[in-house]
Structure 1
Amino acid sequence: MAKSEHVSRMLVVLITILPLAAQGSRQYSWANQLEESGKEKVTNLQFYFHDTLSGKNPTAVKVAQAADTNKSLTLFGATFMVDDALTETADPKSKLVGRAQGLYGSSCKEEIGLIMAMSFSFEDGPYKDSTISMIGKNSVMNPVREMPIVGGTGIFRMARGYAIAKTNWFDPTTGDAIVGYNVTVHH
């Protein structure tokens, strides 16, 4: 009798544990664990961002604003959609290497600060059809600003890193600007 009780208990334990153990190794049709390649690269990119709010063909346009935006010295609440040229040098006529597409909005009441959500889409060389994504605060009055790179596509899939921005030229009347970007990306 004792032996049969022992076998019964063992069967109950096995029936309870086996499904739990099998669940840990289950493959799902919608998700598979991939092995890491271990071949991470680091790429440094230098380009110039041409933000044009003026003229007949602006590349940055205001798409929204708060009721009090026009009363704010920092334009708090204004949101702009952009499709800005990225060039090899600060000269607007230099080689086009890509476009900055996304949005930025005035997010600070006490300083001129933008929240930027931008994809740098490259159109030239080995990076053609690849993008890097940047999102972060841009305190535009600081001579040097740092913003995080949070992702990418193509060659830059799984990218992370940082972008250093320095204003090269700014027209306070129109808001037009040329900003140099030095971007370091791990991918």
Structure 2
Amino acid sequence: MSLLIFALCLTVTVAANSDSNYYGRTKPAKVKQEKVTRLRFYLHDIISGKNPSAVRIAHANVTGGGSVDDSAVGFGSLFAMDDPLTIGPGKNSKEIGNGRGMYVSGSKDISKLTIVMYADLAFTRGKFNGSSISVFSRNPVAEEAGEREIGIVGGRGKFRMARGFVNIKTHQIDMKTGDAVLRYDATVYHY
């Protein structure tokens, strides 16, 4: 009987060990020369009108000291975006892609408006068609006087494994509606 129990325990141990293995292979990477690409384009974030490019999908019930409707982008509001990227700042400028993602208003004081955003900035025309850069960063919108910076955390296509930063300058903003046209100057490091 003890021999049978020993054989059974041995079988269970062997089966458990074989299930814990997985396939993996490591090989040396071919080192490629890192490139830097600088891009300038405009992002149009329109939250007003009948055909907005960004819509509020959630907001806080209580934000303290006022209503979420006190501004177009109230504290705690979460927006989904599908913003056009264009060559120039005009609304009829040639579209070269779209910025899709989300942003949340992270400041109680509207005079210090800051959003935290995740966006995939995808190019649908030109040299970088099918490629994108991904940003995930704090964006201090109220700092209109100068440029503000957000971080590039990845990319795909020609920008695979991208890193870098985007300097954003507000070209035009309507604080009543929240509509904005922003100049993006991206410095992208990639392979």
The amino acid that maps onto 2:128 is: Y
Identify the match of residue 158 of structure 1 among 157, 161, 180: 161
* Matches of 1:122 and 1:33, distance apart in 2: 32
Per-residue CA deviations over 1:121-160 (Å, capped at 9, x if unaligned) read: 0011121111100011111011211010000000000000
Identify the match of residue 172 of structure 2 among 169, 172, 179: 169
* Matches of 2:76 and 2:24, distance apart in 1: 41
Q: Quick check: 1:43 aligned with 2:27? A: no
Identify the match of residue 71 of structure 1 among 62, 67, 71: 67
After superposing the two structures, state which structure 1 stretch, 35-44 or 128-137, moved more: 35-44
The corresponding residue for 1:109 is: 108
Q: Which has the larger radius of gyration?
A: 1
The corresponding residue for 2:187 is: 184
Structure 1: state its 5+ residue gaps. Answer: 1-27
Q: What value does the CA root-mean-square deviation take over the aligned residues?
A: 1.6
TM-score computed with the length of structure 2 as normaliser: 0.79
The alignment covers a number of residue pairs equal to 160
* Matches of 1:36 and 1:108, distance apart in 2: 45
* Matches of 1:41 and 1:163, distance apart in 2: 16
Structure 2: state its 5+ residue gaps. Answer: 1-21
Pairing of 1:52-67 with structure 2 (within 5 A)? 52-67=46-61
* Matches of 2:180 and 2:44, distance apart in 1: 6
Per-residue CA deviations over 1:33-80 (Å, capped at 9, x if unaligned) read: 441423111000100000111111111000001112462567211000
SS of 1:66's partner is coil
Identical residues among aligned pairs (%): 41
Per-residue CA deviations over 1:82-134 (Å, capped at 9, x if unaligned) read: 00000000011111111000000001224210001000000111211111000
